[in-house]
Amino acid sequence: MLSSNLRQLHRLGRGAINMFSTDAKQFPEAKRRFIPSQGTYPHGFFAGGSHCGIKKNGKADLALLVSDRPTTTSAVFTTNQFCAAPVQYDRSVINGARDAREQRVRAVVINSGCANAVTGQQGLADAQEMGEAGAAFVRMFDKERGVEHEGGEALVMSTGVIGQRLPLSKITDGVTAMQVDETHEAWMRAAVAHMTTDTFPKLLSRQVDIAGQPIHLAGITKGAGMIHPNMATLLGTVCTDASVPQSLLDKALAHAVARSFNAISIDGDMSTNDTIAVIANGASGVVIGEGAAYEQFTTALTEFMADLASLVVRDGEGATKFLTIEVTGARTFADAKQVASTIATSSLVKTAFYGQDANWGRILCAVGYAGVALDTNKVNMAIYPGDNSDPLVLVKGGKPLLPVDEARASEILKQEDMRVRVELGLGSEEARMYTCDLSHDYVSINADYRS
């Protein structure tokens, strides 16, 4: 931990910096319940956010996360073939550290307002320079702590309009002037600086026990559109003060992302920039090894990342409903997820929920064309309301229960949260997808995105 004098140095920063408010009252009232007023953060991590001048409207557009020591880092990236320069740069940094069996990553620099995607070799050079600015910050950070020659590398993440160059001088000056801190306010500033079409900042933190010893997790993510599986799904960073070997962190992230950030869908589009990174600095002194500790850590990470990913769905562009699609009784996890994904990405299903229409036929149709072999006589389906009252059973043994109780359907579909449960009756595996409805506002938001 830093002394009070060193903390003050970081709060003062290294130059002029544009400040902004993190007051929850500036965000939509309906979303404020998802914005934390306090948090419990992993030891040894510092955060900050600012407006460096990328966004013309003066809103926050630059964030920085820093560890006070070397970290083990793992990441999952977009599978879009037009992957952006930051994705290519980060892959090289993480793979280089993995191949050398070294802990190299110390920071993450994130900008919003410009994606640095489809920018060719110049974009790669810009991503590298952005990373070098982060590394230079780390060297100054270490010098202020009295740690000589520690240093390290920085990952970079960019989000915003595709096809435009980064205003590099604004970013590098902004990184140099950045104020970082361990406080909740500092983490909030970083979360706000991630936002593009998001309507609220997405920050989560918690303490969990591993074999009776506490570790901490903190995560920031952003996204409201271009959200679909088979990638990392958006931008996000999870920090933990657990010590996790590279092989175990890679394995835990693969498990967790399949059940969280690769289990959400808003509009079926795949971004060029999607990146989810997990950074472990070991500051808690708790070491995650094979066996029970690894299983507990993986479970905790999966649950944490699922909760963090759910915030993205709740902020889906124009969304009015939060839908959990639960498929049980499948032969394999892959089968269950395929069926759940097909339901979650159906525009007809999503518009039915927006219209508060209990159109069971659209859901059953999606189950049928999901590409998974079924015994249709075993399929059951019900909708569970968010208030935990009685569900509305719509299909049993492959047959609809008619007539539908329209009054009960109306009561359930007026709620913001609901769960669609489909039982296949073929095995013991299950999977969930998280999605939202599809509204008129989604079209409006994306029709004038660049303006």
The pLDDT of residue 2: 41
Mean pLDDT of the chain: 90
Average pLDDT over residues 316-320: 76
pLDDT tens string 208-218 = 999 999 999 99
Are 274 and 231 spatial neighbours (Cβ–Cβ below 8 Å)?
yes
The fraction of the chain above a pLDDT of 90, given in percent, is 76
Whether residue 135 has pLDDT greater than 60: yes
pLDDT tens string 241-286 = 999 999 999 999 999 998 998 888 765 444 556 889 999 999 999 9
Q: What angle do CA 321, 324, 330 make, to 5 degrees?
A: 155
The fraction of the chain above a pLDDT of 70, given in percent, is 89
| Confidence grade of residue 227 (pLDDT, cut at 50, 70, 90) | very low
| Confidence grade of residue 13 (pLDDT, cut at 50, 70, 90) | very low
Whether residue 446 has pLDDT greater than 80: no
The pLDDT of residue 60: 96
Whether residue 23 has pLDDT greater than 80: yes
* Model-wide pTM > 0.75: yes
Residue 316 or 71, more confident: 71
Whether residue 160 has pLDDT greater than 70: yes
pLDDT tens string 352-410 = 999 999 999 999 999 999 999 999 999 999 999 999 999 999 999 999 999 999 999 99
pLDDT tens string 419-441 = 999 999 999 999 999 998 888 87
Beta strands across the sheet bearing 153-161: 45-50, 62-67, 105-114, 153-161
Residue 19 or 229, more confident: 19
Task: Give the number of C-alpha atoms closer than 13 A to the C-alpha of residue 72, restricted to the C-beta side.
Answer: 20
The pLDDT of residue 438: 85
The pLDDT of residue 272: 55
* Residue among 87, 68, 90 nearest 78 (CA): 87
Question: What are 195's two structure tokens?
Answer: 């936002």
The pLDDT of residue 151: 84
Q: Which one of 72, 196, 233, 435 is the catalytic residue?
A: 233
Q: What angle do CA 174, 106, 45 make, to 5 degrees?
A: 85
No. of H helices and E strands in the chain?
Answer: 12, 16
**Rounded Cα gap, residues 104 and 55, in angstroms:** 31
Known active-site residue 233: yes
Query: Are β-strands 429-436 and 264-265 bridged in parallel, bridged antiparallel, or unpaired?
Result: parallel
Whether residue 6 has pLDDT greater than 60: no
Q: 50 pairs with which residues across the strands?
A: 62
Q: For residue 152, how far is the Cα from the chain centroid? A: 25
| Confidence grade of residue 449 (pLDDT, cut at 50, 70, 90) | low
pLDDT tens string 176-212 = 999 999 999 999 999 999 998 889 999 999 999 999 9
3-state secondary structure of 254: helix
